[in-house]
Amino acid sequence: MSAPIPPARVKICGLSTPETLEAALTAGADWIGLVHFPRSPRHVDFKAASTLAAQVRGRAERVVLLVDPDDALVRAAVASVDPDLIQLHGRESPERVAAIRTLAGRPVMKAIGVAARADLEAIPAYAGVADRILLDAKAPAGAAHPGGNGHSFDWSILADAELPPGTMLSGGLDAGNVGAALIRTGLCAVDVSSGVESAPGLKDPDRIAAFVAAVRAAR
């Protein structure tokens, strides 16, 4: 008798209000993502992030997203959010990822932009220093921010690729396609932001609930 397939895990990223955060927790999200990147429509300052993180404590894992942070920003993020995971979504080198992990004393997830099979060549170097890898659609040329652009990449790129355990999929996911994404990629963790919004930065409780339900149904 084969072992049961474990449920896929869900991260709702870019939450910025107590109400939408509560909607994500009620829906059963496993990770709550707080974005600290001023150019993003989902940016929250550390005062707000601290309040939101307190709302999550003991109910889900807290993730703070940073983009090419310096040491002072890493320390401030840890002090304010007390994150369970730090998500690095910039151009951090493997060496910088390792340094941030040591400085923060927290697990780190590194986002890697994907548009072609060749982009997967970066994974081994980062997998050696990060606790988790996130594969996101590579940002279009001239994009103001490196993620949350609502674009997906060709999932067939991942066919037969050797990916680290726990690799997370992101980029253009919503309730209508996340089931197919899980089946086609074989991954067991997904991250959504714009796919559960009614407008950039405005999370929709109904879309959040539908997304989490679609993930659970797919598994």
CATH of the domain at 102: 3.20.20.70
148, 42 Cβ separation under 8 angstroms: yes
Structure pTM? Answer: 0.93
151-177 mean pLDDT: 95
Question: pLDDT above 90 covers what percent of the chain?
Answer: 89
Residue 143 in any domain: the answer is yes
Residue 2 in any domain: the answer is no
pLDDT digits (tens, 9 = 90+) for 83-128: 999 999 999 999 999 999 999 999 999 999 999 999 999 999 999 9
The more confident residue out of 141 and 39 is: 39
Q: What is the model's pLDDT at position 31? A: 98
Q: What is the model's pLDDT at position 143? A: 57
C-alpha 34/C-alpha 47 separation (Å) is 12
pLDDT digits (tens, 9 = 90+) for 13-38: 999 999 999 999 999 999 999 999 99
**Residue 37 belongs to domain spanning:** 9-218
Q: What is the 3-state secondary structure (H, E, C) of the chain?
A: CCCCCCCCEEEECCCCCHHHHHHHHHHCCCEEEEECCCCCCCECCHHHHHHHHHHHCCCCEEEEEECCCCHHHHHHHHHHHCCCEEEECCCCCHHHHHHHHHHHCCCEEEEEEECCHHHHHHHHHHHCCCCEEEEEECCCCCCCCCCCCCCCCCHHHHCCCCCCCCCEECCCCCCCCHHHHHHHHCCCEEEECHHHEEECCEECHHHHHHHHHHHHHHC
Q: What is the model's pLDDT at position 59? A: 97
Beta-strand pair 61-66/31-35: parallel
Residue 47 in any domain: the answer is yes
Residue 1 in any domain: the answer is no
Residue 96 in any domain: the answer is yes
Q: What is the model's pLDDT at position 168? A: 98
Q: What is the model's pLDDT at position 151? A: 81
pLDDT digits (tens, 9 = 90+) for 46-82: 999 999 999 999 999 999 999 999 999 999 999 999 9
Q: What is the model's pLDDT at position 126? A: 98
Q: Which residues are catalytic?
A: 13, 136
Residue 3 in any domain: the answer is no
Number of domains in the chain: 1
Residue 176 in any domain: the answer is yes
For residue 161, what pLDDT band results from cuts at 50, 70 and 90? very high
Q: What is the model's pLDDT at position 139? A: 77
